[in-house]
């Protein structure tokens, strides 16, 4: 049973299904619905659009039949202390949670590629990964999948100035292998990072489950005050799934960004962040001044950007998300534009400007719904 | 074509459909789905569960074939000035918007009854309406439908201490007639109120469309500072639909109430109130201190009640909504309990206590979802 991929590539459905642990008939029925094929950019692949039968969303089957499983969702602690005590027994490792976009980097057909969370080959992330990850990792471990975060001011998905990166850096936080569902954990990732000189997430240390919540509170408060996101809590022996926990400042910065485009975001985005703050205030028993500061921060993170959006629109300015990428190769910018188009993102790419390190390209994403809603309210439309 | 209502009452479908302005076949197909019959409490009736074909939700057809149309939804101005200029031409009347529950009071089969927004006969509202509305209104105008708000500290739906009411008062704001879809407007309502001594909403005055936004801002700020809700803006000649506008304090008090039961409310409830604040801050060009006060008020209105809920749960207290009613007749309390049961509200009614003016009954509604969610988070469950 052969599947003809676009571009005359054939794939043996039965053997792929076998390796995925599902029946060939089931995989066939998924094709074109849950499983989509892609012939651009290279390599050709099948991509799982949704999670199914224990196969993570974003799982990819390359044309050579190799599989890169999707990176599993890390669940969130709402109350640190009970969550840690419930999920871990001995000690826990605490690592910094980076604020960028999750990629998996692997060597396929002799080339390094970076896959997004959803299983798309991102041309820009791929260029960054090629430049930053020494090829020796893949020479020695051809099946390795490096899981990390792309962070920095030139990250077009999540631009952040708080990292030392000039443009966009790859920061390793876990490793896996092609064909394997499981992650190898923090220790394996740091060992690889050290051996090959790959940047890796900061490891704050190992704490007992009893003491961890107190230590993490201090770490997270410090991270928050420096504009960083939060932590991921892992089992040292990699026996339990990790969990994440974020700073109040990070929750509020999410809101600040989203309320600028208030009508283009899901309401659960807003709600979940407010609820996190409520639990954190309760767990950390905020004093009166701290609690007022938290309330003011939360209120301001919603009203300030929304007010600015309305005021901008009153002044006749169109609401848009502006980001910038820095590419070494002009072709990468062209490919990234095509990548956006295929993902259904509507954006305008400015002509590249030469800059130290390559070419800068400004990208403007129009936020249609917020523009339309704000205009209609300013024209007196009722809610 | 006769429809047999429960309790052996027959209704002529064709003549009811005629009066509703729809085909008999269409009405028949709606029965049991969009249109539901009720035989308790009296009078027997058909009730429109949803709006359809220009018939408002809450529209009721009594067993005698008379119709009380649902009270139309009043839309909300997000930006006062453009909304008023767009929707009104000459002047506007500004009335206080009361914060309680909307009822329609009519005489049916010789008895005064109060219908909720959804078209249920509410036994408690009915008792209040019977006691407060002089029967002369209905003697002189047998077809009149008095549209008003039930407000006060003993309102079980929306308990509010800010009105002069000791328990629950009926406050008239519009009038209609059985069989008529349209409201007769502010002037007609105030004339009826004056003639028969019925309490009516406060009328702040008439303003030109050009000056109204400025005047209303002052009125709304004053109302807000006194714990009141906001205003309804009406056409003096009743030619255009009214619109409503609320104070920041009222938006925040809504949030304060809802976040106490954060997991039992829809997320659009939260989102819409934050968005109102964003537009108000922009339209009123808050100064720095005012804006900070608004942000703090907003943040606190969400975090304070949610924190208290979490802390209560930590102390082992079950989260519940406690309200109280004051009934003249013990049977009314029993009927109100049955009314809740039929509406699917899970509540525990305490035994009545004798009090000046009748009997006090405490009602506890368990908020299951918030209780369960909070407990699971406190037990370390991840989000």
Q: Give CA–CA dist B32/A136, Å, rounded.
A: 71
Reading the block at residue B309, the tokens are: 């809920």
User: Does A238 reside within a domain?
Assistant: yes
The residue among B32, B65, B98 that closes a domain is B65
Q: Do B75 and A268 touch (CB under 8 A)?
A: no
Q: What is the mean pLDDT of residues A327-336?
A: 98
Same domain (yes/no): A146, A51: no
Q: Give CA–CA dist A184/A144, Å, rounded.
A: 10
CB atoms within 10 A of CB B25: 12
Q: Is A290 helix (H, G, I), strand (E, B) or coil?
A: helix
Q: What is the pLDDT of residue A5?
A: 57
Task: Identify the CATH number of the domain in which residue A309 sits.
Answer: 1.20.58.2250
The residue among A200, A230, A246 that closes a domain is A246
Task: Identify the CATH number of the domain in which residue A214 sits.
Answer: 3.30.470.30
Q: What is the pLDDT of residue B12?
A: 85
Query: Out of A78, A296, A310, whose CB is closest to B296?
Result: A296
Residue B8 clears pLDDT 60, i.e. is over it: no
Q: What is the pLDDT of residue A10?
A: 67
Same domain (yes/no): B237, B275: no
Query: Out of B271, B282, B378, whose CB is closest to A82?
Result: B378
Q: What is the pLDDT of residue A90?
A: 87
CB atoms within 10 A of CB B33: 9
Angstrom CA distances, B122 to A347, B104, B119, B150, stand at 55, 10, 9, 11
Q: Give CA–CA dist A83/A79, Å, rounded.
A: 6
Same domain (yes/no): B189, B274: no
Q: Give CA–CA dist B10/B1, Å, rounded.
A: 10
Q: Do A377 and B277 touch (CB under 8 A)?
A: no
From first CA to last CA, the distance across chain A in angstroms is 56
Q: Give CA–CA dist B68/B64, Å, rounded.
A: 12
Q: Give CA–CA dist B232/B241, Å, rounded.
A: 10
Number of residues assigned to chain B? 383
Query: Out of B303, B311, B380, whose CB is closest to A298?
Result: B303
User: Does A333 reside within a domain?
Assistant: yes
Reading the block at residue B10, the tokens are: 């027959």
Task: Identify the CATH number of the domain in which residue B16 sits.
Answer: 3.10.450
**Which positions ≥6 away from A12 have C-beta within 8 Å?**
A1, A2, A3, A65
Q: What is the mean pLDDT of residues A219-238?
A: 97
User: Does B55 reside within a domain?
Assistant: yes
| Cα A113–Cα A115–Cα A119 angle in degrees, nearest 5 | 140
Q: Do B299 and A304 touch (CB under 8 A)?
A: no
Same domain (yes/no): B327, B304: no
Q: What is the mean pLDDT of residues B269-292?
A: 97
Same domain (yes/no): B208, B128: yes
Residues of A in contact with B274 (CB under 8 A): 259, 270, 302-303, 306
A–B interface: beta-carbon pairs under 8 A: 166
Q: What is the pLDDT of residue B5?
A: 57
Tell me which chain B residue has its CA closest to the CA of residue A312: B282
Q: Is B20 helix (H, G, I), strand (E, B) or coil?
A: helix
Same domain (yes/no): A97, A23: no
Q: Do B282 and A314 touch (CB under 8 A)?
A: yes
Partners of A170 in the β-ladder? A150
Q: Predicted confidence band at B89 (pLDDT cuts at 50, 70, 90)? A: confident
**pLDDT per residue as tens digits for the range B191-212:** 999 999 999 999 999 999 999 9
User: Mean pLDDT, chain B, as a whole number?
Assistant: 95
Residues of A in contact with B291 (CB under 8 A): 303, 307
CB atoms within 10 A of CB A4: 10
User: Does A372 reside within a domain?
Assistant: no
Tell me which chain B residue has its CA closest to the CA of residue A80: B380
User: Does A373 reside within a domain?
Assistant: no
Contact (Cβ atoms closer than 8 angstroms) between residue A150 and residue A100: yes
Residue B3 clears pLDDT 80, i.e. is over it: no
| Nearest to B231, CA basis, from B93, B88, B103 | B93
Partners of A62 in the β-ladder? A45
Label the pairing between strands A9-12 and B353-355: unpaired
Q: What is the pLDDT of residue A266?
A: 86
Residue B9 clears pLDDT 60, i.e. is over it: no
Q: Do B272 and A383 touch (CB under 8 A)?
A: yes
Q: Predicted confidence band at A236 (pLDDT cuts at 50, 70, 90)? A: very high
Same domain (yes/no): B87, B168: yes
Q: Give CA–CA dist A83/B383, Å, rounded.
A: 10
User: Does B380 reside within a domain?
Assistant: no
Q: Predicted confidence band at B4 (pLDDT cuts at 50, 70, 90)? A: low
The residue among A246, A264, A294 that closes a domain is A246
Number of domains comprising chain B: 4
Same domain (yes/no): B138, B223: yes
Q: Give CA–CA dist A71/A53, Å, rounded.
A: 15
CB-based contact (8 Å) between A78 and chain B?
A: yes
Q: Predicted confidence band at A18 (pLDDT cuts at 50, 70, 90)? A: very high
Q: What is the dihedral of CA A107, A108, A112, A117, to 10 degrees?
A: -90
Q: What is the pLDDT of residue A147?
A: 98
Cis bond leading into A43, ω under 30°? yes
Find residues 287-346 of chain B whose CB sits inside 8 Å of chain A: 291-292, 294-300, 302-304, 306-307, 309-311, 314
Find residues 238-297 of chain A whose CB sits inside 8 Å of chain B: 243, 259, 262, 267-268, 270-272, 274-275, 277-279, 281-282, 286, 291-292, 294-297
Domain that holds residue A129: 75-246
Q: Predicted confidence band at A13 (pLDDT cuts at 50, 70, 90)? A: confident
**Which positions ≥6 away from B354 have C-beta within 8 Å?**
B360
Residue A124 clears pLDDT 70, i.e. is over it: yes
Same domain (yes/no): B258, B349: no
Q: Predicted confidence band at A12 (pLDDT cuts at 50, 70, 90)? A: confident
Same domain (yes/no): B39, B168: no
Residues of B in contact with A259 (CB under 8 A): 274, 278
In angstroms, the separation between the Cα of residue A381 and the nearest Cα of chain B is: 6
Same domain (yes/no): A237, A98: yes
User: Does A202 reside within a domain?
Assistant: yes
Q: What is the dihedral sign for C-alpha A198, A201, A205, A206? A: negative
Same domain (yes/no): A189, A117: yes
User: Does A59 reside within a domain?
Assistant: yes
Residue A6 clears pLDDT 60, i.e. is over it: no
Contact (Cβ atoms closer than 8 angstroms) between residue B255 and residue B202: no
Residues of A in contact with B77 (CB under 8 A): 380, 382-383
Contact (Cβ atoms closer than 8 angstroms) between residue B92 and residue B235: yes
Q: What is the mean pLDDT of residues A193-201?
A: 98
């Amino acid at each position: 049973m052969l599947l003809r991929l676009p571009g005359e590539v054939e794939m043996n459905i039965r053997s792929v299904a076998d390796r995925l642990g599902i029946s060939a008939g089931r995989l066939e029925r998924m094709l074109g619905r849950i499983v989509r094929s892609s012939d651009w950019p290279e390599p050709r692949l099948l991509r799982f659009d949704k999670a199914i039968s224990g196969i993570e969303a974003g799982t990819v089957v390359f044309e050579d039949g190799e599989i890169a499983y999707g990176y599993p969702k890390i669940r969130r602690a709402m109350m640190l202390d009970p969550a840690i005590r419930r999920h871990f027994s001995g000690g826990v490792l605490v690592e910094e949670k980076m604020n960028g976009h999750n990629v998996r980097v692997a060597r396929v057909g002799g080339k390094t590629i970076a896959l997004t969370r959803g299983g798309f080959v991102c041309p820009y992330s791929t260029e960054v990964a090629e430049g930053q990850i020494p090829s020796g990792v893949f020479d020695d471990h051809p099946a390795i999948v490096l899981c990390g975060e792309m962070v920095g001011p030139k990250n077009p998905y999540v631009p952040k100035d708080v990292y030392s990166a000039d443009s966009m850096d790859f920061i390793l936080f876990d490793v896996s292998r092609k064909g394997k569902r499981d992650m190898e954990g923090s220790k394996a990732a740091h060992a690889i990072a050290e051996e090959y000189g790959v940047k890796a997430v900061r490891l704050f240390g190992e704490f007992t489950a009893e003491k961890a919540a107190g230590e993490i509170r201090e770490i997270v408060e410090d991270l928050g005050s420096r504009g960083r996101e939060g932590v991921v809590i892992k089992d040292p022996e990699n026996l339990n799934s990790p969990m994440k926990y974020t700073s109040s400042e990070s929750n509020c910065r999410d809101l600040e960004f989203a309320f600028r485009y208030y009508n283009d975001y899901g309401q659960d985005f807003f709600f979940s962040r407010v609820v996190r703050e409520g639990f954190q205030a309760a767990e950390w028993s905020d004093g009166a001044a701290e609690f007022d500061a938290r309330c003011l921060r939360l209120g301001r993170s919603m009203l300030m950007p929304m007010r600015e959006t309305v005021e901008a629109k009153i002044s006749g300015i169109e609401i848009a998300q502006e980001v910038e990428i820095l590419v070494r190769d002009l072709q990468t910018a062209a490919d990234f534009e095509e990548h956006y188009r295929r993902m259904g993102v509507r954006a305008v790419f400015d002509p590249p400007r030469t800059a130290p390190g390559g070419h800068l390209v400004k990208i403007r994403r129009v936020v249609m719904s917020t523009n339309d809603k704000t205009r209609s309210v300013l024209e007196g439309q009722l809610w």
